[in-house]
Structure 1
Amino acid sequence: MATEMCWRCLFFVFFLLGGSAQDIGQTRFICTSIPADMDMCSAAAQSGSGSAEELKNSVLQLRETVLQQKETIMNQKETIRELTAKISRCESQSMAEPFNGEGKVGQPGSRKKETAGASKNTMGDLSRAPPADTLNQLGQTLQTLKTRLENLEQFSRSNSSSQISNLKDILQNKIDDLEKQVLSRVNNIEENKPNLKNETEQRGKIESTLTTLHHRISDLEKGQRNNLPGDKFQLNFSLRTNYMYAKVKKSLPEMYTFTVCMWLKSSATPGMGTPFSYAVPGQPNELVLIEWGSNPMEILINDKVAKLPFVISDGKWHHICVTWTTRDGVWEAYQDGLLRGNGENLAPYHPIKPHGVLILGQEQDTLGGGFDATQAFVGELAHFNIWDKVLTPGEVYNLATCSTKAIAGNVISWSESNIEIFGSPTKWEFEACRQIN
């Protein structure tokens, strides 16, 4: 029994070393004495453990190489399928019906006038790449395939593996076939170039017309914005991005009390984001108004937080005001002219620090930057004003109901000259009293 197991062990080592049954007759056996109480197979395994382990690692490496090459073949197949699809599109364009002398597709007199549907189809054709671009893409893809093939050749020389050589031959044949197909398509396109000339000219005319129309629209929008009154405008933050915001050109002075008021309109979920944030060196959350995620709207002063009882994410305009004084950290929250909540101990005896950066539409993680798209304001904002005093309930009510002429903030007033826009938030006309009628 021990002899049979020993032979099995020897066969295992022999096959691990890369031998076969036919090589047994050419193999020399070395006899080594071992202790009587030691297992023969264990001794045989120990005697060849070093070489067997090295060859085993080599076999595993070769197997991993073969697997990598299989994955390369799959990638090349996917590339070949993409090339075939592009060639088909190129061929379909080259086989299109020629233009007649009148610049129309099909038989003479088939269309007397351009219709809206025809214009729409022509505009749709602009989105497709011309044959020359398609051929450039095919050439670039073929060059990539050749580069990968050269890498495979270098790899095959360093590993001397027959499997890699076979893969190289397969890829070379595929590339040769693709080159022949591309050359054939190029010849066909070159032959049809005169027929494509009219199409190119027509495409150029349409592109020129669209460019002119775009410039006219831009000029009209610019003129409308320039004609707006200084304070009768709103900012529309339509997207939740980290680059769309407005910067107030003035900073805040040191303040021991304040009132901040604005008009807001939003239906964004979850949370409308950050209508404004004020950061100073060393403290990005010196003064912040934010509604983030499913949390209620909050006001932060020096990283201290008070939850505000506002319900304004209904897609309608709302007037909100927040007052605060450093003495005992007393605060009040007004919505649409009415007191909705109050509290105390919000950053008590901490004055608002000066020389900071005031941003509309983004929350600052660093001074003047570090914006996070998930905290960006989505909605419309107007009449952002700050006072260095606590407005009375009557004054807040008059602002919200337009009972009297609106008073501007004595620290920050809503004016186009005080706002610098980044990332193109839209600016449109806004009349506060019209929103509540």
Structure 2
Amino acid sequence: MQHNTHGEMQTIKKAISWKLLILSYLFVEGSCQDFGGGQTQFICTSVPKDMDICAATLQNSMPGEDLKTTVMQLRETVLQQKETIMNQKETIRELTSKLTRCEGQSAPEPGPGGRRKETGTKNTMGDVSRGPSDTLAQLSQTLQSLKQRLENLEQFSRNNNSVQANSLKDLLQSKIDDLEKQVLSRVNSIEDDKPGLRNETEQRGRVESTLTSLHQRITDLEKGQKENRPLDKFQLTFPLRTNYMYAKVKKSLPEMYAFTVCMWLKSNASPGVGTPFSYAVPGQANELVLIEWGNNPMEILINDKVAKLPFIINDGKWHHICVTWTTRDGVWEAFQDGVMRGSGENLAPYHPIKPQGVLILGQEQDTLGGGFDATQAFVGDLANFHIWDRKLSIGEIYNLATCSSKAQIGNVFSWLESSIDIYGGASKWTFEACRQLN
């Protein structure tokens, strides 16, 4: 850049020198009143000292025109060089601005609208869509959840007089106390002019590492209770927005020309509860997705086609939701707590749900089985997830929502602990959704 600018400045200097030389040599001004048109003209030309100016002008009109053309060309060269320098200065300012932004490590803005994103950068340290206060609030909720689970384990320990459980309980209590101290220290740092924000990523990593370890220990302790409960009486908990907490269904879905998907959800996440489930197949990451992201309403995606659902569930209470769909005319229906809340058609009509895909709970897939984005992760609790390859009737869905003895289980996927694997600190523990209705 510096070398090019130096060369351009030399060209400008030469152009200016030539112009001054010509003007200094030809700076004799004359006028003639009648050159055929009766209009006044001013001509700069070189004439002998004793020659008549007008005669000299008539004799040398063509050389004067040539000189004028030369001067105009030089002037054009100067203007072009000036414009080039201005463009290069603008480029330098733009590059300087970009460098400043990079050094400031500013976070990218999320892409507008729905689940589609403009950036391929993935978050690896938790919730990138929230500020420190929101993250601390989530950590506090997680602590309360862990304490409740610890109390359940204490009760289990007393009932079974288990020395090993008591030992693990003491260890877990110590871990929770340490975690509370970290959260308190984080709060104090933020309140004191936020000096701790400089190391926010490092602090968040330590806290999430502790959480993951704590969840794993509690999960190990809860394994001792599995023999005493049915395999379908459990829930999945996703306490934080991350790109590594999820559950994976062990088998794929068959080809389906109709489906009903139902589940129990509880969340108070805002904005948007995230992605309760996503099903991706080779060549299509959005084969079947349920998502509520940002300030958008909850949506069902089939082969990348979208229908907006009239669900309102982020009030911290358990809700039963179902979505039915048939490939004929793409007709769909949406139910919340046993009541139809909306319906429509032309949602991916005559496109069967493809087989041989990957079904993920808690994350939205950008690639087959991966490409998770923390801003679209589900935050909350999920239970009794079932899929049928047909459209359930209104009565069948009502029985599911009211825990009727006539309620059925999914013939494509049914909610069993042996059917899923969990990763990244998502927890699985005893729960019965219908108990919430009593």
Deviations 1:107-127 (A, max 9, x none): xxxxxxxxxxxx99xx99x99
Superposition pairs for residues 191-202 of structure 1, below 5 Å? none
Deviations 1:326-351 (A, max 9, x none): 00000000000011110000000000
The answer as to whether partners of 2:222 and 2:429 remain within 8 angstroms in 1 is no
Q: Per the alignment, in what secondary structure is the counterpart of residue 366 of structure 1?
A: coil
**4+ residue runs of structure 1 moved beyond 4 angstroms?**
34-38, 213-219
Partner of 1:432: 433
Identity of aligned residues (%): 78
CA distance in 1, matches of 2:307, 2:427: 31
Superposition pairs for residues 198-217 of structure 1, below 5 Å? none
Cα offset for 1:226? 5.5
CA distance in 1, matches of 2:218, 2:290: 35
Superposition pairs for residues 264-303 of structure 1, below 5 Å? 264-303=265-304
Partner of 2:397: 396
Deviations 1:85-141 (A, max 9, x none): xxxxxxxxxxxxxxxxxxxxxxxxxxxxxxxxxx99xx99x99xxxxxxxxxxxxxx
Are 1:262 and 2:263 an aligned pair?
A: yes
The answer as to whether partners of 2:252 and 2:357 remain within 8 angstroms in 1 is yes
Partner of 2:66: none
Deviations 1:61-106 (A, max 9, x none): xxxxxxxxxxxxxxxxxxxxxxxxxxxxxxxxxxxxxxxxxxxxxx
Cα offset for 1:217? 6.1
Deviations 1:298-343 (A, max 9, x none): 0000000000011111000000000000000000000000111100
CA distance in 2, matches of 1:263, 1:269: 18
CA distance in 1, matches of 2:321, 2:351: 23
Deviations 1:223-249 (A, max 9, x none): 235643200000000010000000001
Distance 1:306 1:218, change over 3 A: closer
Are 1:386 and 2:381 an aligned pair?
A: no
CA distance in 2, matches of 1:330, 1:36: 84
Question: Which residue identity does 1:365 align to in structure 2?
Answer: D
CA distance in 2, matches of 1:270, 1:427: 25
CA distance in 2, matches of 1:324, 1:341: 12
CA distance in 2, matches of 1:364, 1:214: 24
Cα offset for 1:406? 3.3
Question: Which residue identity does 1:222 align to in structure 2?
Answer: K
Partner of 2:326: 325
CA distance in 2, matches of 1:291, 1:371: 15
| Unaligned stretches of 5+ residues in structure 1 | 1-33, 39-118, 128-212
Distance 1:306 1:224, change over 3 A: same
Partner of 1:245: 246
Distance 1:229 1:242, change over 3 A: same
CA distance in 2, matches of 1:215, 1:390: 38
Superposition pairs for residues 140-151 of structure 1, below 5 Å? none
Cα offset for 1:220? 2.9
Question: Which residue identity does 1:394 align to in structure 2?
Answer: G
Question: Which residue identity does 2:328 align to in structure 1?
Answer: R
Partner of 2:223: 222
Cα offset for 1:273? 0.3
Cα offset for 1:256? 0.3
- For these two proteins, the number of residue pairs brought into alignment is 237
Question: Which residue identity does 2:253 align to in structure 1?
Answer: L
Give RMSD over aligned pairs.
Answer: 2.9
Cα offset for 1:221? 2.9
Partner of 2:350: 349
CA distance in 1, matches of 2:436, 2:278: 25
The answer as to whether partners of 1:365 and 1:371 remain within 8 angstroms in 2 is yes
The answer as to whether partners of 1:287 and 1:301 remain within 8 angstroms in 2 is yes
Partner of 2:310: 309
Cα offset for 1:216? 8.4
CA distance in 1, matches of 2:383, 2:245: 16
The answer as to whether partners of 1:225 and 1:427 remain within 8 angstroms in 2 is no
Distance 1:226 1:258, change over 3 A: same
Q: How high is the TM-score relative to the length of structure 1? A: 0.51
Partner of 1:370: 371
Question: Which residue identity does 2:417 align to in structure 1?
Answer: E
Distance 1:215 1:333, change over 3 A: closer
Deviations 1:378-410 (A, max 9, x none): 000000000001111000000000122431100
Question: Which residue identity does 1:244 align to in structure 2?
Answer: M
The answer as to whether partners of 1:234 and 1:382 remain within 8 angstroms in 2 is yes
CA distance in 1, matches of 2:331, 2:348: 9
CA distance in 2, matches of 1:282, 1:349: 18
The answer as to whether partners of 1:362 and 1:377 remain within 8 angstroms in 2 is yes
Question: Which residue identity does 1:231 align to in structure 2?
Answer: D
| Unaligned stretches of 5+ residues in structure 2 | 1-20, 26-173, 183-213
Question: Which residue identity does 1:310 align to in structure 2?
Answer: F
Partner of 2:4: none
Partner of 2:421: 420
CA distance in 1, matches of 2:343, 2:305: 15
Cα offset for 1:222? 3.0
Superposition pairs for residues 17-166 of structure 1, below 5 Å? 37=24
Distance 1:281 1:427, change over 3 A: same
The answer as to whether partners of 2:232 and 2:417 remain within 8 angstroms in 1 is yes
The answer as to whether partners of 2:219 and 2:427 remain within 8 angstroms in 1 is no
Q: Per the alignment, in what secondary structure is the counterpart of residue 347 of structure 1?
A: coil
Q: Per the alignment, in what secondary structure is the counterpart of residue 399 of structure 1?
A: helix
